[in-house]
Amino acid sequence: MKITIITGSQRKNSNSKFVGLNLKEKLDQNFSDVSVESVCLYDAQIPYWDEDKYSDKEKWAAWSKVSEKLAQSDAFIFVVPEYNGMVPPMMTNFFLNADQGELSHKPALLVSVSAGINGVYPISELRAYSFKNNKVCFIPEHLIIRNVNDILNKEVKSKEKDYINERIDYTLPVLVEYAKALKLVRESQAVKTDKFGFGM
Ligand SMILES: Cc1cc2nc3c(=O)[nH]c(=O)nc-3n(C[C@H](O)[C@H](O)[C@H](O)COP(=O)(O)O)c2cc1C
């Protein structure tokens, strides 16, 4: 099984990227049958969607590479910072571009990141609409990593940190089970992406 972790920050050395690396480490340590790939949207430099996407292969080479990785994945983790209460544009652009079934009927865990005590808005925004045409299945569990600088700082010990780690350890196996279950859905005759490509 392959899980791809997508980090949606627009900052070079982002906390989201480090959260993603920590999640990868936990998956690598605890699930011998799961291979983990990472896509950092800052590093990937995917162009903003335009009509050239379907004709200019060179301009869109970065996306093609990401798209291939997604197509080979069984599940996703989206690590998304809150920017002025919103999802960063690069993350929105990602969902706009994922229009070739790469994410369809595959489970995804949402993880939001805040340097303060916020972080709920990106979860609400993504759950509200972003799945419509790409048909990604956000699982009911999500994670909100508040006070992320403390959470990532190895020197800091706190009840909040213990709780977040416990919560992560609970949530990752849930995602893995959804990945097993939704594989059956994709393999079934019920899914007719050719006929009903777009959501209502
Ligand atoms: C443009 C911008 C807007 C931000 N707006 C918010 C916000 O609305 N709520 C919040 O909790 N943190 C906000 N932050 C701080 C982030 O929580 C902080 O940068 C955190 O480390 C997660 O982002 P990162 O992955 O880019 O590091 C903002 C940061 C930036 C760069």
pLDDT in tens, 112-158: 999 999 999 999 999 999 999 999 999 999 999 999 999 999 999 99
Instruction: Look up residue 112 and give its two tokens.
Output: 């939001």
Determine the pLDDT at residue 4. Answer: 98
0.85 exceeded by the pTM? Answer: yes
Residue nearest to atom 17 of ligand 1 (CA): 114
The CB of 147 under 6 Å from ligand 1? The reply is no
CA of 145 to the centre of ligand 1 (A): 12
CA of 99 to the centre of ligand 1 (A): 28
pLDDT in tens, 22-70: 999 999 999 999 999 999 999 999 999 999 999 999 999 999 999 999 9
How far, in Å, CA of 53 to CA of 108, rounded? 25
- Measured from the CA of 86, which atom of ligand 1 is nearest? 8
pLDDT in tens, 154-169: 999 999 999 999 999 9
Give how far the C-alpha of residue 163 lies from the chain's centroid of Cα atoms, to the nearest Å: 22
CA of 82 to the centre of ligand 1 (A): 5
Whether domain 2-187 has CATH 3.40.50.360: the reply is yes
pLDDT at 193 over 90: no
Q: Where are the alpha helices (DSSP H) in 52-119?
A: 61-71, 89-97
Residue 191 C-beta-side C-alpha neighbours within 13 Å: 13
Per domain, the residue ranges of the chain are 2-187
Q: For the residues 76-90, what does the mean pLDDT come to?
A: 98
Determine the pLDDT at residue 32. Answer: 96
The CB of 150 under 6 Å from ligand 1? The reply is no
Q: For the residues 176-183, what does the mean pLDDT come to?
A: 98
* 3-class secondary structure per residue, 106-147: CEEEEEEECCCCCCHHHHHHHHHHCCCCCCCEEEEEEEEECC
How far, in Å, CA of 147 to CA of 62, rounded? 32
End-to-end CA distance of the chain: 30
The CB of 81 under 6 Å from ligand 1? The reply is yes
